[in-house]
Amino acid sequence: MDRKSFRGIFVIVTTPFTHDAKLDEAGLESTMAFCLAAGVHGVVANALASEGGYLSEAERRRVAEIVVGAVKGKVPAIVAVSAPHHSIAADYARHAEAIGADAIMALPPTLHPASPAEIKAHYRAIAAATSLPLVLQNVVGQGASSMSAALLAELVHEIPTARFVKEESGYPAQTVGEILRLCGDKVEGVMGGKAGKTLLEEVRHGVSGTMPACEIADVHVALWNAIEAKDDTLARSIFRRLLPLLDMESNYGMPLMKEVLKMRGVIGSAAVRQSGFRALDDAAREEAATVMDDLTEIMLPAYRHRR
C-alpha cells in the first residue's frame, strides 16, 4: 500500500454470528458482497468493530481468510493483529502475510496499559515478523494505551514498515494534524475512526480517510466521494443526515451495527459476543429505521432497510 491506495473509506468488517453465537461464514460472505457493492476503498478484518477480541484464534484466522479472499485484486485488505502480547500478534501477522493481506494493523498491548518502552518493543516485534506495511492504531478506552503524536512519530521514524496511522484518541482531528507535522514524509497517511463523527474536521488537518464500521458503508462512501469532489454543500448535507445514526452507534455500539445490517438484509442475525451494551428494543429499532429513512436515497437500492 502507498499514499494513493491508503485513501478513502476503509470499513471495519463486522463479524456476523448465528443466533447461537457461532461464526456465520455465509453472513460474512454476504457482508463482504455488500461492502464491495458499496464501493469501499479498502477493508479491515478482526479489528475492534469486528469483535476481534471475542474470536478464537482459529476464528480470527478464518475470518481473515474470508475477508482477504473476497477482495483480493479489488481493494486493499488490512488484517488487525492486536493482542495482549507481541508473540501472539506476530503469529497473526505472519498468517496475514501468508494469505495475501496488503497490510496489518495493531494496537499497543491490549488488556492493560503499557509504557512507551513496552509499546515500542511491542511494535518492533510485530514489524520483525512480517514485511507487510504496519498501521499503528491509537485509541482511548478501558485498558487502552493511548499514544501521543510524538510517540507515534517516533515509531514511524524508527520502524520502516510503520507507514500508516489510524487515529481515534482524544481530539482526533487536531492529533491527525500533529502526527502529519511530526512524521513528515515518513508517514504515508493518517486515517480517522470513531465512525467518522469528526471526519469533516479531520479533513481540514489532512486526513487520508476514515475507518468506520461497515453497516452504512454506502453512505460513508458517498460522503467521502463528495469530499474528494470538493463539493462541500453535498458533503455537509450527507454528514448532517448521517450523524444521528452515528450518535446511536456511539450509544448502542455493536448491537446497533448488527441491527442495521440485519435491517438492510445483509445478515440474518444481530447476535453479538461483545458485552457491555444494551440490545436495541423496539423503540430503538424504530428510531434507527426512522433515521435511515432520511438516508434512503443515498443507500444502494438492493440494501435499503426493511422495517
- Predicted local distance difference test score (pLDDT) of residue 55: 98
The pLDDT, as a whole number, for residue 141 is 82
**H-helix or E-strand containing 189?**
strand 189-192
Sign of CA dihedral 264, 12, 83, 96: positive
- pLDDT of amino acid 111: 86
Q: Which CATH number is 8-217 given? A: 3.20.20.70
At 236, is the secondary structure helix, strand, or coil? helix
213-224 pLDDT, tens digit per residue, is 999 999 999 999
For residue 168, the cross-strand partners are 139
The pLDDT value recorded for residue 306 is 79
pLDDT tens digit string along 126-179? 999 999 999 999 998 877 899 999 999 999 999 999 999 999 998 999 999 999
The per-residue pLDDT for 35 is: 98
- The 10s digit of each residue's pLDDT in 12-37 is 999 999 999 999 999 999 999 999 99
Chain centre to alpha carbon of residue 259: 18
pLDDT of amino acid 142: 73
pLDDT of residue 280: 96
pTM score of the predicted model? 0.96
Domain ranges of the chain: 8-217
Which residue ranges in the chain fall short of pLDDT 50? none
